[in-house]
Amino acid sequence: MNPTVAVSRRGARRLQGGHPWVYRSDVEDSDLPAGPVHVRDVRGRFLGCGLWSPQSEIRLRLLTSDDVTIDEAWWAERIAQAVARRAHLVPGTTAYRVVHAEGDGLPALVIDRYGEFVVVQLLTAGIEAVRHDVLGAIGSSLQPAGILLRNDASVRRHEGLPLAIEAIDGSVPERVEVRVGTVRYWALLRTGQKTGAFLDQRANQQLMERVALGRALDVFTYQGLFAIHMAHRADSVLAIDSSAPALDVARANAQLNAGGPIEWLEANAFDALRSLDDDAAQFDTIVLDPPAFAKSRNAVSAALRGYKEINLRALRMLAPGGRLLTCSCSYHVSRARFLDMLASAAADSGRRIVLERLVGQSDDHPEVLTVPESSYLKGALVRAD
Ligand code: SAH
């Protein structure tokens, strides 16, 4: 029988409003160890079952409002439901997110599939305490050839947890060749960003494969995925990143694929965009996919200035009829503020800019409307007349 914790009225209201987190100030003090708990309100009414994190500001994350036992079978069923929701994924896609934490009703759990292997993140002390059940459920429901734990995400520090990368069950190679539609690439499971690749951009990469033409530019290319997708239709692609190791992988990825020529340029994007703009360069298709410029709320104004600078340069360099896909993965920069920034860049560019499509994270990264933290990636496809 799991221990029970009582949450304040404010905490209970939040849970009932569809957000699974309870903060330290909204729960009775307790010296419970990390792990599953039953949750009730101050009047004793049952609210659900969750995972307790004794050192975190977010003390409790609700898993379910049902009165159930959180055991291996429960995890396996929830994972199977997440798998079933992804049945419509583009056929032939071998790299995708199977469980997107809160987005799939499984707070603190990320599971990404790369071919036969899965990469898992256990992001809180609560879920770390039940890792045996979670890993058992992953093994039985996904049958991977190997599981890699990428527990090197810095959020684990807020939970008092160590950062580590560990292979569990089976040997996991350094790199795995995966496929997205017509594109093949190497996922570097141990050393790549996040769990090996930016799976959240898959749908947008495929969108750019469809719309790219003429001379294309991919700024912040990382391991080259937008560039390689665009090279299928564009005459040529210039791809820019400041990381030499990322560009080495990008070159290796390009070799797995057909398509027009790609020039890889190691440079600071701000400098490169300035010098291209100064030279009056023109592109028919541009992608801007920078890292999160705002890592905290305090950094939002500076981030917006950075976004505006690169977007203004990109808009100025669009050939007539050219398209720009511009993205922000800063959680702290809302979609509304991002679009305000883009409108302001459009005004300064002196061009007539048409919003063709709003985009977000791929649909294997579901966003829950009552959980704003499940949504971070926003973007827009615009056309310059
Ligand atoms: N577009 C990629 C993901 C980009 S991640 C994809 O779809 O997979 C952000 C990238 O920006 C990283 O590769 C990082 O090396 C690069 N980067 C960060 N700051 C930069 C800068 N000032 N100039 C150029 N590249 C930068």
pLDDT per residue as tens digits for the range 113-139: 999 999 999 999 999 999 999 999 999
Backbone angles phi, psi at 362, to 5 degrees: -55, 155
Residue 252 tokens read as 């290796």
Alpha carbon nearest to ligand 1 atom 10, residue: 220
SS3 at position 368: strand
Could you identify the atom of ligand 1 that is nearest to the CA of residue 327? 1
Quickly state the pLDDT bin for 180 (edges 50, 70, 90): very high
Sign of the C-alpha dihedral computed for residues 312, 317, 322 and 328 taken in this order? negative
Nearest to 369 by CA among 102, 78, 109, 21: 102
Pocket test for ligand 1, best of 183, 222, 313, 361 (most atoms within 8 A of CB): 222
DSSP H helical ranges for the chain:
9-16, 72-85, 125-128, 131-142, 202-211, 225-230, 244-255, 269-278, 300-317, 335-349
Kindly report the pTM of this predicted structure.
Answer: 0.96
Mean pLDDT, range 5-12, rounded to an integer = 97
pLDDT of residue 357: 98
Return the number of other C-beta atoms located less than 10 Å from residue 158's C-beta. Answer: 15
Q: How far is CA 150 from CA 121, 258, 345, in A?
A: 5, 32, 38
Mean pLDDT, range 236-251, rounded to an integer = 98
Quickly state the pLDDT bin for 30 (edges 50, 70, 90): confident
Q: Cα(235) to centroid of ligand 1, in Å?
A: 23
Domains and CATH numbers, the chain: 4-64 (2.30.130.10), 72-176 (3.30.750.80), 198-384 (3.40.50.150)
* Model confidence pLDDT, tens digit, residues 70-97: 999 999 999 999 999 998 887 789 999 9
Lowest mean pLDDT among 25-29, 110-114, 196-200: 25-29
Is 327 an annotated catalytic residue? no
pLDDT of residue 265: 98
Quickly state the pLDDT bin for 29 (edges 50, 70, 90): confident
Q: Who lines ligand 1 at CB under 6 A?
A: 198, 201, 220-223, 225-226, 241-243, 246, 268-270, 289-291
Which of 62, 317, 329, 359 is catalytic? The answer is 329
pLDDT of residue 1: 78
Rounded Cα gap, residues 341 and 311, in angstroms: 9
Quickly state the pLDDT bin for 28 (edges 50, 70, 90): confident
* Model confidence pLDDT, tens digit, residues 142-152: 999 999 999 99
SS3 at position 145: coil
Alpha carbon nearest to ligand 1 atom 13, residue: 222
Q: Cα(290) to centroid of ligand 1, in Å?
A: 5
Cβ contact 181:362 at 8 Å: no
Rounded Cα gap, residues 172 and 195, in angstroms: 13
Could you identify the atom of ligand 1 that is nearest to the CA of residue 221? 1
b (16+ CB within 10 A) / e for 144-157? bebbbbbbeeeebe
pLDDT of residue 27: 95
Quickly state the pLDDT bin for 257 (edges 50, 70, 90): very high
Q: How far is CA 370 from CA 3, 53, 171, 193, 350, in A?
A: 27, 22, 39, 28, 38
Pocket test for ligand 1, best of 242, 253, 268, 328 (most atoms within 8 A of CB): 242
Alpha carbon nearest to ligand 1 atom 20, residue: 242
Angle between helices 300-317 and 269-278 (to 10 degrees): 30
Q: How far is CA 330 from CA 315, 335, 339, in A?
A: 21, 10, 13
pLDDT of residue 311: 98
pLDDT of residue 379: 98
Q: Cα(219) to centroid of ligand 1, in Å?
A: 7
